[in-house]
């Protein structure tokens, strides 16, 4: 499977009469874009706002972040099974809007939606403080059940991304990256002297608004499976979860999975990147046992010598993380875990809810319990009404001037457990 990913660099976003890209500037016809989104009769209203790096702007409560991408050559479409027919993707040519994002914002559906600050101290913890953000602010119709509202919000973001992605069709990429994974036996033979390394990608699937979709299928319904790494670049995985904002893997983070990107960078140099094993994070012990057994079996079956292992969320998923680590290690594959930590504000509590002896090599993405001050911003996209309810906030954390104190886990992707952040913790 070979994919050419063409990047069109976006350095500014503005409103305009026509939605287009011109010399690196994305122009958005807000009325036309909102009308496309409002074809969903579950939404009562929608309006578009823009947020740029360095502005005194706060976006909250954030539901998802998506990078617009367009399939220009090869089978399928971006976000298959959700925005088009179920066709295997990951080959051909795909264009992406590098530097610009769709951010879905709206009234809260749970307690997990997060904050993006475009400037100030909190901006340092969030990658989306550095992107040109087209914010889709939605208002659901009254009386929608929570899961129906979540679905409407998820589809609003994906619809917006598809709408903007059409502007990529006539562009010439500023940069093109090529990714290729051969069929298993060919891949082994290509670099026989390099260690065979894979990636175990745990998808959030606990239910109750903790869902991820693979080719449109709720990840609770899958068993561990192999996938070509390039499939993820075409949107084969879509976020539908409302886990703690700090380690929420947005759809953008799936499109830009840093573990896959870095393994490709080392492919043929220090390692032979064999592929990705998808598994999930269910709540029942029987499912955890079954899927960790299958994950370990796949690692053994394809002959992995080493594997990187990531989770999404914390608490209950820590058990899946450790079961995978233990069983994969016992079958002969060395495991490196990537995760964040929640040891309390003083750092003195247990970092993870579960542990095993085999978990002897870990990369930490930081402590989500650290408290910082969020100064008042000139403009809020969405509402700060729910800050005290959001994970990381507490009753009384808001101040009269619009600022507040909160743990950094209220920030989207501040300690995301796949390494797409700036933090780490070191043990001595």
User: Which one from 101, 126, 135, 242 is the annotated catalytic residue?
Assistant: 242
Quick one: angle between helices 316-330 and 285-301, nearest 10?
Answer: 30
Between strands 25-28 and 20-22, the pairing is antiparallel
Q: Does 242 qualify as catalytic in the annotation?
A: yes
Instruction: Tell me which residues are annotated as active site.
Output: 242
């Amino acid at each position: 499977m070979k994919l050419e990913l063409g990047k069109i660099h976006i350095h500014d976003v503005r409103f305009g009469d026509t939605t287009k890209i011109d010399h690196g500037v994305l122009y958005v016809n807000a009325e036309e874009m909102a009308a496309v989104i409002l074809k969903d009769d579950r939404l009562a209203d929608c309006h578009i706002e823009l947020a740029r790096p360095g502005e005194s702007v706060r976006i909250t409560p954030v539901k998802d972040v998506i990078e617009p991408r367009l399939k220009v050559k090869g089978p399928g479409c971006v976000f298959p099974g959700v925005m088009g027919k179920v066709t295997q993707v990951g080959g051909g040519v795909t264009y992406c809007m590098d530097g610009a994002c769709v951010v879905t914002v709206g009234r809260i559906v749970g307690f997990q939606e997060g904050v993006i600050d475009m400037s100030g101290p909190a901006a340092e913890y969030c990658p989306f403080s550095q992107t040109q953000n087209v914010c889709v602010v939605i208002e659901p119709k009254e009386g929608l059940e929570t899961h129906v509202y979540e679905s409407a919000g998820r589809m609003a973001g994906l619809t917006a991304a598809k709408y903007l992605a059409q502007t990529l069709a006539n562009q010439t990429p500023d940069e093109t990256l090529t990714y290729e994974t051969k069929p298993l036996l060919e891949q082994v033979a290509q670099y026989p002297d390099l260690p065979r390394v894979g990636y175990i990608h745990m998808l959030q699937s606990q239910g109750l608004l903790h869902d991820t979709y693979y080719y449109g299928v709720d990840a609770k319904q899958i068993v561990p499976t192999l996938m070509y790494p390039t499939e993820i670049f075409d949107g084969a995985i879509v976020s539908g979860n409302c886990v703690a904002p700090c380690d929420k893997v947005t759809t953008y983070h799936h499109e830009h999975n840093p573990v896959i990107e870095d393994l490709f960078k080392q492919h043929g140099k220090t390692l032979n990147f064999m592929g990705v094993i998808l598994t999930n994070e269910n709540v029942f012990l029987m499912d955890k046992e079954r899927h960790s057994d299958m994950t370990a079996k796949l690692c053994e079956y394809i002959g992995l010598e080493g594997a990187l292992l990531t989770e999404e969320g914390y608490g209950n998923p820590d058990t899946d993380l450790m079961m995978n680590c233990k069983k994969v290690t016992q079958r002969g594959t060395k495991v490196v875990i990537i995760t964040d930590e929640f040891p309390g504000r003083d750092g003195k509590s247990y970092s993870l809810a579960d542990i095993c002896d085999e978990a002897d090599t870990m990369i930490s993405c930081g402590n989500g319990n650290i408290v910082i001050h969020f100064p008042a911003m000139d403009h809020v996209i969405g509402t700060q009404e729910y800050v005290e309810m959001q994970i990381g906030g507490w009753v009384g954390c808001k101040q009269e001037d619009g600022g507040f104190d909160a743990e950094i886990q209220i920030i989207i992707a501040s300690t995301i457990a796949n390494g797409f952040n700036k933090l780490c913790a070191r043990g001595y």
